[in-house]
Structure 1
Amino acid sequence: MDNKKLLELLNKQYNFEIESAYIYKAMSLWAAKENWPGVANFLHQQALEEMFHASKLQNYLLDIDYDVKLTSIAEPKAEYSSLKEVFTEALEHEKQVTSNFMEIMKEAKEVSDYQTEIQAQWFLTEQVEEEATFNDLILTLERINDSAAGLFQFDAQLAQRSFSKPQA
């Protein structure tokens, strides 16, 4: 592939996926510290999923003979006021990921890079699920409205999540 802009967008997103894992890991650590083990598990699993996404992009870039470049990652936020804040920030982050892949898709279409379009389409499909998941979690927290029993059940439900590699 000769399109420098598209390659740079892909490399930037590769690094953003690693940063995403870092952000979710920090959220997971906050939840563990606050004694929300189920939420901590859910966010840890999310961090693993983001590293899978980074690996998928890395493999694609290597397959097309691109020299993948690692960039620095800022220290993630470590303190939150509530579970709702955590999941609201996670949703906003996922919306940024979606926007990034939309930009990749747009550039791939402009240069008729069908292979990259297919890669971007996989991620965009994944993003529909990601955003829906966080929207649902926020809605659940709003319905619970600080009910101790509801929060306990919410946490227990999130403890059940385990990462399984999606089908490519």
Structure 2
Amino acid sequence: MVQPLLFRVCPYYTEEKEKGASTMINEKVAVLLNQQINAEFYSAYLYLDFYNFYVEQGLDGFANWYQVQAQEERDHAMLMMQYMQNNDLKVTLEAIEKPNLKLSENMDPLREGLKHEKYVTELIHNIYDAAYSAKDFRTMQFLDWFVKEQGEEETNANDLIKKMELFGSDPKSLYMLDNELAARTYAAPSLVL
């Protein structure tokens, strides 16, 4: 039997390495990715709760903003699922916990949203750190998009709080801000896996 060219050219390449090459994702990284899938679905669920709150308040623009957020979070979970499946990793979906926040003022979902985005950023960073420690460069490259996305998510949440603090107490300004948020549309992420 003729050895493949790689065996002849690279003395460090062995048949054992070739056999183990199919699973390149570290086990700890795979567990964290699976947990993140469930966390992203929870995020979508949380933002749908915020959507419902604003519908009840008659602030359809704010409701729209969080409905779009929920779609984004769902797609983040789907991207991670696809990444795991593309790498022959089993995805386990867990029960999604019911959001348990007391929302009474228009500012409450905005503050809770920023707090939640900071938490999700921490989760993404933990996966990235585990991938880095395992020299899982493929997952690190995949997560680069999510790291950037989380920066944008935190900025958007913070900007929305600032606008609400500036304009939320004036009915006319609140109406204009609500109309601005009503114009937001959903754009699916274009991440190549």
TM tier, smaller: over 0.9
Partner of 2:4: none
Equivalent pairs, count:
168
Equivalences for residues 64-143 of structure 1 within 5 A: 64-77=87-100, 79-143=102-166
CA distance in 2, matches of 1:4, 1:84: 41
For residues 53-73 of structure 1, give each alpha carbon's deviation from its aligned partner in whole angstroms, at most 9, with x where no partner exists: 011000000011111001111
Percent of matched pairs sharing the same residue:
35
CA distance in 2, matches of 1:72, 1:137: 30
Partner of 2:58: 35
What is the identity, as a one-letter code, of the residue corresponding to 2:128? M
Relative to structure 1, the CA distance from residue 97 to residue 142 in structure 2 (aligned partners, 3 Å threshold; closer, same or farther) is: same
For residues 124-157 of structure 1, give each alpha carbon's deviation from its aligned partner in whole angstroms, at most 9, with x where no partner exists: 0001110000000000111125111111111111
Runs of 4+ in structure 1 deviating by more than 3 angstroms, as ranges, are none
For residues 15-51 of structure 1, give each alpha carbon's deviation from its aligned partner in whole angstroms, at most 9, with x where no partner exists: 1000000000111011101111111111001000001
CA distance in 1, matches of 2:55, 2:187: 22
User: Is the CA contact 1:18–1:50 (under 8 Å) kept in the aligned structure 2?
Assistant: yes
The answer on 1:167 being equivalent to 2:178 is no
CA distance in 2, matches of 1:84, 1:130: 17
User: Is the CA contact 1:41–1:161 (under 8 Å) kept in the aligned structure 2?
Assistant: yes
CA distance in 1, matches of 2:95, 2:29: 20
1:117 Cα offset (Å): 0.1
What is the identity, as a one-letter code, of the residue corresponding to 1:124? V
What is the identity, as a one-letter code, of the residue corresponding to 2:172? A
Equivalences for residues 2-41 of structure 1 within 5 A: 3-41=26-64
For normalisation by structure 2, the TM-score amounts to 0.84
- Higher helix proportion, which one? 1
For normalisation by structure 1, the TM-score amounts to 0.96
1:83 Cα offset (Å): 2.1
What is the identity, as a one-letter code, of the residue corresponding to 1:54? A
What is the identity, as a one-letter code, of the residue corresponding to 2:27? K
1:84 Cα offset (Å): 1.4
CA distance in 1, matches of 2:144, 2:25: 20
Relative to structure 1, the CA distance from residue 141 to residue 128 in structure 2 (aligned partners, 3 Å threshold; closer, same or farther) is: same
Segments of structure 1 that go 5 or more residues without pairing to the other structure are none
Segments of structure 2 that go 5 or more residues without pairing to the other structure are 1-23
Whose radius of gyration is greater, 1 or 2? Answer: 2
The answer on 1:49 being equivalent to 2:72 is yes
CA root-mean-square deviation = 1.2
